């Protein structure tokens, strides 16, 4: 029953993605009048193939670190959003009055039922962009969790929600006439926006547990892994770096360029620039803490090299621990075993194998 439910959820989410992609491509073809843009539907074949593989081979379960269905969905939807945004930039030469009052009636025919949607061109673009982000969040919620825990999934959804708000804030720059006149800046904004969307294909909340130190007390061969390598492969570091490089970093650079190049000192642009700078500072601070912080669990475990000759002591034997006072086995827990070697003692749990 659980496997059947996972398959139904996986198919449902991918059908929603296909429907939104179809709507975006239809809108791009309608606005541009170029029927060749229908070929963008070919990219949806990758999503269909991924759906079949997920259902037949993985029983609807998602991967732990990556979501390929979102990647193929973005491949087909992002180009149509580009076409709509560039069309809005090209229409900037029209008068503001015509832009604000003009509206377009679009007929959507579904099995003989005609639905009239009265929206202007800018509203269509905004609706498709916002619905794209909502669909990514809701789709990730509906998809089978796979190896993700409920706690990791909730963290991922909150992270997606915060990233979605940051992504939509970038398009505030298009409200400035100077930005719309600069075609190169418009291309740059759309490029950064497209790159930031691929954050939704990653599952950065699935943290790895650090592996314990491995040592051989009998042979004296310490095979402890380097702590810096352990921390390098922890997903928290990757999530911090990805957020800085693909979201807040490029967003801050673009807004700073707009402030300096065009001297647009709007409240919204200044506020979001300061916000990006503050977030980057906090992320760098967190990155520094993770990289340089001591692993307390590793530091508390002191590996002691022992030779092959291990001398056990009885319950009432008096032993010496370094320069400390003498203690007996009665002072220790019954579940512990002590070994005496060169006036040093290692206490280990009885459940652990002793070589």
Give the model confidence (pLDDT) of 21-79 as tens digits.
999 999 999 999 999 999 999 989 999 999 999 888 888 888 878 889 999 999 999 99
pLDDT tens profile 282-324: 999 998 888 887 554 455 544 434 444 444 545 445 444 444 4
pLDDT band at 342 (very low <50, low <70, confident <90, very high): very low
Q: State percent of the chain over pLDDT 90.
A: 35
Mean pLDDT (whole number) for 272-276: 93
The model's pTM? 0.71
Q: What is the 3-state secondary structure (H, E, C) of the chain?
A: CHHHHHHHHHHHHHHHHHHHHHHHHHHHHHHHCCHHHHHHHHHHHHHHHHHHHHHHCCCCCCCCCECHHHHHHHHHHHHHHHHHHHHHHHHHHCCHHHHHHCCEEEEEEECCEEEEEEECHHHHHHHHHHHHHHHHHHHHHHCCCCCCCHHHHHHHHHHHHHHHHHHHHHHHHHHCHHHHHCHHHHHHHHHHHHHHHHHHHECCCCCCCCCCCCEECCCCEECCCCHHHHHHCCHHHHHHHHHHHHHHHHHHHHHHHHHHHHCCCCHHHHHHHHHHHHHHHHHHHHHHHHHHCCCHHHHCCCCCCCCCCCEECCCCCEECCCCCCCEEHHHCCCCEEEEEECCEEEEEECCCCCC
């Amino acid at each position: 029953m659980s496997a059947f439910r996972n398959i139904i959820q996986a198919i449902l989410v991918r059908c929603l993605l296909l429907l939104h992609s179809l709507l975006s491509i239809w809108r791009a073809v309608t606005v541009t009048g170029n029927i060749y843009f229908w070929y963008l539907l070919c990219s949806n074949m990758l999503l269909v193939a991924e759906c079949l593989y997920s259902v037949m081979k993985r029983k609807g379960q998602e991967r732990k670190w990556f979501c390929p269905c979102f990647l193929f969905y973005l491949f087909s939807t992002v180009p149509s959003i580009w076409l709509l945004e560039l069309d809005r930039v090209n229409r900037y030469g029209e008068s503001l009055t015509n832009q604000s009052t003009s509206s377009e009636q679009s007929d959507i025919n579904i099995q003989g039922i005609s639905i009239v949607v009265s929206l202007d061109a800018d509203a269509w673009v905004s609706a498709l962009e916002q619905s794209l982000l909502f669909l990514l969040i809701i789709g990730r919620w509906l998809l089978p969790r796979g190896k993700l825990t409920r706690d990791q999934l909730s963290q991922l959804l909150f992270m997606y929600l915060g990233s979605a708000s940051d992504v939509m804030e970038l398009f505030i720059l298009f409200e400035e006439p100077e930005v719309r006149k600069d075609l190169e800046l418009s291309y740059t904004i759309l490029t950064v926006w497209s790159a930031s969307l691929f954050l939704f294909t990653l599952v950065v909340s699935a943290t790895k547990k650090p592996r314990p130190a491995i040592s051989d007390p009998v042979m004296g061969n310490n095979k402890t892994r380097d702590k810096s390598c352990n921390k390098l492969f922890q997903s928290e570091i990757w999530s911090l770096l990805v957020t800085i490089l693909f979201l807040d970093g490029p967003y801050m650079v673009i807004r700073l360029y707009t402030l300096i190049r065009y001297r647009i000192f709007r409240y919204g642009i200044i506020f979001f620039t300061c916000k990006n700078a503050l977030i980057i500072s906090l992320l760098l601070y967190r990155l520094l803490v993770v990289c340089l912080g001591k692993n307390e669990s590793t530091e508390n475990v002191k590996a002691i090299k022992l030779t092959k000759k291990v001398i056990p002591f009885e319950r009432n034997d008096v032993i010496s621990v370094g320069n400390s006072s003498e203690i007996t086995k009665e002072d220790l827990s019954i579940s512990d075993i002590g070994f005496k070697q060169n006036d040093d003692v290692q206490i280990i749990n009885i459940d652990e194998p002793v070589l």
